[in-house]
């Protein structure tokens, strides 16, 4: 399958017009740097980037980032794309959009799994810093910016993802040995549910949302794309152990996380299930995107060794 089509095509002319209408002091040269499933990103001059949703389902994701990233950024150990300006819905474009600081770095999807190995401990430290209980409003007087974002496909019980995951596994059966995926998935779905408070989640912690330093050894320079930000089962984000790393680094990631925020075996089992969910999505829906398809293949290979 292919990347979903845009509900509204977002080109440089549209982005320039939006900036001119709402933030004319920031007008400058635009360069397309990403055209993903949900958002289009243009670099604006040297120091800024513009993040614009391309699909209706992504519109609320930008609003979630605008509401919550400023509050979360201060506790995180690496840079994140906090909006510096907010674009409001208008007659020219019906959804919110953001201007953020340009974050330099090498895309984690553009290097090999072995080159991502040095990220094991820093990414564990990021996850531990983010994974705190989300605020739960109890009355109309609670001073929350907006409700904690609800996400129907992240942080939820794995059983709710049974149908799409099984469908994707079936579709991939002619290209991959899916028996290990089925085994991992079934163990994960059978594991006890998360019974703690809803935990803040990045929601989409794969290598394409990690920026690495350009110099060797690689370091974690930034974590980007918080569009799936939500709260729920921390196992969702721990899927990055298979999405990002090879076995040795995966073990180091888990060891460092245990030192900072102990993870029980059931949560780790569910995390492997989340890696099946996300890895099959990448593998099955990226026929026109070699970069994302490669991430999917990496995850499926790692899940053959789920420890």
Grade residue 144 by pLDDT with cuts at 50, 70 and 90: low
The DSSP output letter for 140 is: T
The pLDDT value given to residue 140: 47
Contact 44, 50 (CB under 8 A): yes
Contact 66, 81 (CB under 8 A): no
Residue 19 confidence (pLDDT) above 60: yes
- For 168, the enclosing helix (H) or strand (E) is helix 162-172
Q: What is the pLDDT of residues 72-93, one digit of tens each?
A: 999 999 999 999 999 999 999 9
Q: Which residue has the higher pLDDT, 227 or 276?
A: 276
The pLDDT value given to residue 214: 86
Which domains are present in the chain? Answer: 12-101 (3.30.200.20), 106-302 (3.90.1200.10)
Judged by average pLDDT, the poorest of 1-15, 51-65, 83-97 is 1-15
The pLDDT value given to residue 143: 55
How many Å apart are CA 79 and CA 91, to the nearest integer?
33
- For 40, the enclosing helix (H) or strand (E) is strand 39-44
Tokens standing for residue 122: 């820093």
Of residues 86, 94, 84, the one with CA closest to residue 54: 94
What average pLDDT does this structure show over 284-301?
88
Q: What is the pLDDT of residues 211-227, one digit of tens each?
A: 999 887 789 999 999 99
Residue 1 confidence (pLDDT) above 60: no
Query: Global pTM?
Result: 0.93
The pLDDT value given to residue 296: 93
Counted residue by residue, the chain has a size of 307
How many other C-beta atoms are found inside a 10 Å radius of the C-beta of residue 112?
10
What average pLDDT does this structure show over 265-277?
98
How many Å apart are CA 295 and CA 307, to the nearest integer?
19
The pLDDT value given to residue 5: 86
What average pLDDT does this structure show over 172-194?
96
Of the segments 49-63, 125-139, 240-254, which one has the largest average pLDDT value? Answer: 240-254
Contact 239, 269 (CB under 8 A): no
Residue 22 confidence (pLDDT) above 60: yes
Q: How far is CA 224 from the centre of its chain?
A: 7
Concatenated DSSP letters of 71-120: HHHTT-SSB---EEEEEPP-SS-SS-EEEEE----EEGGGS-TGGGGGGH
Residue 272 confidence (pLDDT) above 60: yes
Q: Which residue has the higher pLDDT, 57 or 14?
A: 14
How many other C-beta atoms are found inside a 10 Å radius of the C-beta of residue 38?
20
């Amino acid at each position: 399958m292919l990347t979903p089509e845009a509900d509204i095509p977002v080109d440089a002319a549209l982005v320039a017009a939006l900036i001119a209408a709402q933030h004319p002091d920031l007008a400058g040269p635009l360069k397309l740097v990403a055209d993903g499933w949900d958002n289009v990103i243009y670099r604006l001059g040297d120091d800024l980037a513009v993040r614009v949703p391309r699909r209706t389902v992504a519109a609320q994701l930008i609003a979630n980032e605008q509401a919550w990233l400023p509050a979360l950024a201060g506790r995180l150990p690496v840079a994140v794309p906090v909006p510096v300006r907010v674009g409001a819905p208008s007659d020219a474009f019906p959804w919110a959009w953001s201007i953020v600081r340009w974050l330099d770095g090498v895309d984690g999807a553009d290097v090999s799994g072995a080159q991502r190995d040095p990220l094991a401990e820093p990414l564990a430290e990021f996850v531990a810093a983010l994974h705190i209980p989300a605020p739960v409003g109890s009355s109309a007087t609670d001073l929350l910016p907006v409700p904690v974002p609800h996400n129907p496909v992240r942080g939820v019980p794995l059983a709710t993802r049974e149908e799409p995951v099984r469908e994707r596994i079936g579709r991939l059966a002619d290209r991959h040995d899916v028996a290990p995926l089925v085994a991992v998935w079934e163990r994960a779905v059978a594991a006890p549910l998360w019974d703690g408070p809803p935990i803040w989640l990045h929601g989409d912690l794969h290598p394409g949302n990690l920026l690495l330093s350009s110099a060797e050894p690689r370091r974690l320079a930034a974590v980007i794309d918080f569009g799936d930000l939500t709260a729920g089962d921390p196992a969702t984000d721990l899927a990055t152990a298979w999405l990002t790393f090879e076995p040795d680094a995966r073990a180091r990631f888990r060891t460092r996380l245990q030192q900072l925020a102990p993870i029980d075996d059931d949560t780790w089992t569910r995390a492997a299930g989340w890696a099946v969910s996300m890895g099959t999505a990448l593998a099955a829906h990226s026929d026109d995107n070699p970069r994302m398809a490669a991430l999917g293949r990496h995850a499926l290979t790692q899940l053959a060794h789920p420890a």
